[in-house]
């Protein structure tokens, strides 16, 4: 191979290295933006390595991403969950898909984490991804709380309408019963003006009662 061929190979190698670095930097930016990262555990050496995104989530530098250190980052109550998930993945090929809380090494913040992992039996390597889902879980909790408040508010409104309708119906029935007695006593001539007044009152009463019935029907439907 001549000097020209060697120079061309060196140039191509540099281009490939530059392209690889560009892709690596793009991956790092994507992980940081999505609050995610990837990691890899060699079961033979117990050596664990991670991307910049994963290190940021745990609050350590990539050099500090040591297996013994990382095991202590999840809160103690999740240790058995993670150990069993890893064991089931390796021994029984049961999917590793867990959510747990960690205490970040650098700030002491408590964060919610979702982790998915896979196992390569031939190389004895477990590899996976993690994502900080703290804000996502908080949003879901807020939505659930808002929904519960809305349901409670709707039930209160429905109960109020039903109660109000019953409270209105009772005195109106009493009034109209008494009005009927008065009408029978005073309205001897069906064509008299006073009878027409009573007829107007009865018509108005029927309209009111129909409206109350509609309110009650709606209230009963909403409570079912």
Q: What is the 3-state secondary structure (H, E, C) of 48-106?
A: EEECHHHHHHHCCCHHHCCHHHHHCCECHHHHHHHHHHHHHHHHHCCCEEEEEEEECCC
The long-range contacts involving 198-202, CB below 8 angstroms and separated by at least 24 positions, are: 201/176, 202/176
Give the whole-angstrom CA distance, residue 165 versus residue 186. 31
Tell me: the pLDDT tens digits for 51-108?
889 989 999 887 777 888 888 899 999 999 999 999 999 999 999 999 999 999 989 9
| Averaged pLDDT for residues 26-40 | 78
Tell me: the pLDDT tens digits for 139-190?
888 888 888 888 887 778 777 777 777 777 777 788 878 777 777 777 766 6
Among 129, 136, 128, 71, which Cα is nearest to 102's?
A: 71
pLDDT the model gives residue 98: 95
Q: In this structure, are residues 76 and 70 in contact, taking their beta carbons and an 8 Å threshold?
A: no
pTM over 0.85: no
Helix or strand (DSSP H, E) at 118:
strand 110-120
Radius of gyration of the chain (CA): 37
pLDDT the model gives residue 197: 78
pLDDT the model gives residue 75: 95
Give the whole-angstrom CA distance, residue 49 versus residue 41. 7
Q: Is the pLDDT of residue 223 over 60?
A: no
Q: Is the pLDDT of residue 124 over 70?
A: yes
Give the whole-angstrom CA distance, residue 113 versus residue 123. 27
Q: Residues 6 or more apart from 35 whose CB is under 8 A from it?
A: 53, 57, 131, 132
Residue 212 CA from chain centroid, whole number:
40
pLDDT the model gives residue 114: 95
Facing residues of 117 across strands? Answer: 96, 128
Q: Is the pLDDT of residue 28 over 70?
A: no
Question: Average per-residue pLDDT in the chain?
Answer: 81
pLDDT the model gives residue 133: 94
């Amino acid at each position: 191979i001549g000097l020209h061929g060697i120079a061309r190979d060196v140039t191509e190698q540099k281009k490939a290295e530059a392209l690889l670095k560009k892709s690596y930097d793009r991956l790092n930016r994507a992980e940081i933006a999505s609050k995610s990262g990837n990691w890899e555990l060699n079961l033979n050496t117990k050596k664990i390595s991670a991307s910049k995104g994963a290190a940021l989530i745990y609050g350590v530098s990539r050099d500090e991403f040591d297996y013994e250190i990382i095991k202590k980052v999840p809160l103690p109550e999740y240790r058995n969950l993670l150990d069993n998930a890893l064991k089931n993945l390796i021994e029984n090929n049961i999917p590793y898909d867990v959510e747990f809380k960690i205490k970040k090494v650098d700030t002491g913040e408590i964060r919610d984490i979702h982790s998915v992992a896979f196992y390569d039996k031939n190389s004895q390597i477990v590899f996976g991804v993690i994502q900080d889902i703290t804000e996502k879980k908080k949003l879901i909790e807020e939505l659930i709380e808002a929904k519960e408040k809305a349901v409670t508010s709707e039930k209160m409104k429905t109960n109020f309408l039903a109660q109000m309708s019953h409270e209105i119906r009772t005195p109106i029935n009493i009034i109209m019963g008494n009005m009927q007695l008065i009408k029978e006593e005073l309205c001897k001539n069906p064509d008299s003006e006073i009878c027409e007044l009573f007829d107007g009152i009865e018509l108005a009463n029927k309209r009111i009662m129909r409206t109350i019935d509609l309110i009650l029907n709606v209230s009963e439907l909403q409570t079912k």
